[in-house]
Amino acid sequence: MQRHRTILLLLPLVPAVALLATPWLPFVNSARLWAGLPSMFVWTSAWVLAIVPALAAVEWGRQRHRDTAPERSEVGA
């Protein structure tokens, strides 16, 4: 279970690294058009849209972990 949680926490790093690497990727940083738009605009827009499900997966995993964790009972009652 710990492995799945680690993967979920690292999931938003993929879009973040892709966005940070944008200026150094030669197939993105060029004068070509993708679907009639500048390639850097399309690349950045796609990864910005990919961040939303990645962060939602992290939140879902945190909520799921919180729901399945055993509740602490009061000691000394």
Q: Above 80 in pLDDT, residue 66?
A: no
For 5-35, what is each residue's pLDDT tens digit?
Answer: 777 888 899 999 999 999 999 999 999 999 9
Structural domain includes residue 9 = yes
Does 23 map to a domain? Answer: yes
pTM: 0.72
Range of the domain at 25: 2-67
**Six token digits for residue 14:** 């993929």
Is pLDDT larger for residue 69 or for residue 55?
Answer: 55
Answer whether residue 41 is part of any domain.
yes
73 is a domain residue: no
Enumerate residues 6+ apart whose C-beta is below 8 A from 10: none
**Is 56 among the domain residues?**
yes
What total of structural domains would you count in the chain?
1
- 74 lies in a domain? no
Residues 6+ apart with CB under 8 A from 4: 61
